[in-house]
Structure 1
Amino acid sequence: MLLYLLLNLGSFSIPFLYSFEKKMRFIKHWKSVFLSLTIVSIIFLIWDGIFTARGIWGFNPDYHLNILLFGMPIDEWMFFFCIPYASIFIHYSLAYFKPNLVISEKVTKSITLFFIVILLPVIFMNTDKAYTFVNYIFLVFVLLMGFFFGIKDLQRFYLSFLIILLPFFIVNGVLTGTGIDEPVVWYNNAENLGIRLLTIPIEDIGYAFTMIFLNILLIEKFKKKPQIHK
């Protein structure tokens, strides 16, 4: 059964087609988006490969293609391009169609500091849980990056992330076993907090935030890179 492949393609296809929409023309930023996706996917695939090898999570062969690279199915490699692209598209669609829909800088900074303060004790109290520990360290790092270098991006992203969470819960819910006999992606609960939202480990929300917002920070950096004219 090609469930993982279909989830990837289904998530990617509609945002990609709408990227050519005449007004927004999101496709015009393809260089910045592709470069960002490549960099972030490399980081996450290294992390993914180590955790897969250590048995912190793994993949059900009944639901993915029988093509493995470094112990991970090719569907998992596709995940880091398809899902972030769809999420990034949602973020920039909101920016285009609702340009004034942002949180104030003061509130954004307060929200960011609140999450950092909450996450730090969770990190220090769970050094023995690899997914919790590493995931939340990455999340705190990205929040700090946003606080000091991308506060304007955070002002919009906190809102767009709430919208992104809707398809996230659908796709990630299926991946973790909602509505199917066995999960596509299984987790070793000894390596996480053991708190599930339906079938989704609570850490996955921070994982998604880090992956998507890091892409947005890089896209904005690449978009602002000065052009060299001959």
Structure 2
Amino acid sequence: MEHYLYLLINFFTVIVCFIFSFHPKIQFSRYFKEFLWASLLVGIVFIAWDAWFTKIGVWWFNDKYLLGIRLFGLPIEELLFFICIPFSCVFTYFCLTTFFKLDWKPLPQNIFVIVCIAASLVISYFFRERIYTLMTFLSTAGSLFILHYILKVKWIGKVSFIYLLLMPGFLMVNGILTGTGLESPIVNYNPDEFIGLRILTIPVEDTVYGYELILWNIFFFELFRKTEKQPVVEVEA
């Protein structure tokens, strides 16, 4: 049964959201195609990143909790992670923004983005010899800059707030993956390649990695929703 653990984590992460996608007041099922295109595009980049880090030993996976099927050097469960986690997050984003007005005014979002970019750059510089820390914070700073200043999206603030609301679920899922409640972690990290600061058993870099993953999933999801003539990526005047 232990061999199914990572697979079950993916399943229970997505199943409730998937069922409620068909609710008549939500109808997220109408956007399955848009979500899949978004998750596949973003997944290509993150899977390549994941495979590279696995190859050079930044992290590795415990076969005790895996089916044993691998593609690109990654467990099949890890590939499914890049569909299941974004699905739950994008579904939550869709529901909350459908039923509640969570938009930020331009000034608070500008301040938030500037602070996040500056903090990310400082952290990536001071921990530049730790590749997970460097790559995660540097790429997140770049993503925020591109989304805010080049693509001029207006939803960074509300997505960040929703990500904060999702944090308990994130801590539960990533906690199990990194060893909370288990004899040994499903995902192991090279201590030389990250800061060493953990939330429970979760490297703090994971929270930033997840944030960047969701930002890009939502960007492409909203972009592809244009074909349905829905209000999508908002552009500043």
2:133 counterpart residue number: 132
> Match for 1:7 among 9, 16, 19?
9
> Match for 2:73 among 71, 74, 83?
71
Q: How far is the alpha carbon of 1:122 from its aligned partner?
A: 1.3
- Which whole-Å CA distance do the structure 2 matches of 1:205 and 1:93 have between them? 22
Checking the alignment, whether the CA contact within 8 Å between 2:103 and 2:155 is kept in structure 1 is: no
Q: TM-score, normalised by structure 1?
A: 0.94
Aligned-partner SS, 1:102: coil
Q: How far is the alpha carbon of 1:151 from its aligned partner?
A: 3.3
Q: How far is the alpha carbon of 1:150 from its aligned partner?
A: 4.5
> Match for 2:86 among 69, 72, 84?
84
- Which whole-Å CA distance do the structure 1 matches of 2:106 and 2:29 have between them? 29
Change (3 A) 1:11 1:135: same
Change (3 A) 1:174 1:150: farther
Q: How far is the alpha carbon of 1:105 from its aligned partner?
A: 1.9
> Match for 1:182 among 181, 184, 188?
184
2:193 counterpart residue number: 191
2:52 counterpart residue number: 50
- Which whole-Å CA distance do the structure 1 matches of 2:186 and 2:34 have between them? 31
- Code of the residue aligned with 1:123 in structure 2: it is S
Aligned-partner SS, 2:185: coil
**Are 1:112 and 2:145 matched, yes or no?**
no
Q: How far is the alpha carbon of 1:10 from its aligned partner?
A: 0.4
- Which whole-Å CA distance do the structure 2 matches of 1:126 and 1:156 have between them? 29
- Which whole-Å CA distance do the structure 2 matches of 1:145 and 1:32 have between them? 22
- Code of the residue aligned with 1:173 in structure 2: it is G
Checking the alignment, whether the CA contact within 8 Å between 2:13 and 2:84 is kept in structure 1 is: yes
Q: How far is the alpha carbon of 1:3 from its aligned partner?
A: 0.9
Aligned pairs, number? 226
> Match for 1:204 among 195, 206, 209?
206
RMSD over aligned CA atoms reads: 1.3
2:157 counterpart residue number: 155
For each residue in 1:179-219, what CA deviation from the matched residue of structure 2 results, as whole angstroms up to 9, or x when unmatched? 11111100001000111011000000110000011000111
Checking the alignment, whether the CA contact within 8 Å between 2:124 and 2:134 is kept in structure 1 is: yes
**Are 1:143 and 2:133 matched, yes or no?**
no
Q: TM-score, normalised by structure 2?
A: 0.92
Which 4+ runs in 1 deviate beyond 6 A? none
Checking the alignment, whether the CA contact within 8 Å between 2:104 and 2:155 is kept in structure 1 is: no
Identity value in percent: 34
> Match for 1:172 among 166, 171, 174?
174
- Which whole-Å CA distance do the structure 2 matches of 1:189 and 1:164 have between them? 27
Moved more, 52-61 or 123-132: 123-132
- Report matched runs for 1:207-226 at 5 Å: 207-225=209-227
Checking the alignment, whether the CA contact within 8 Å between 2:194 and 2:205 is kept in structure 1 is: yes
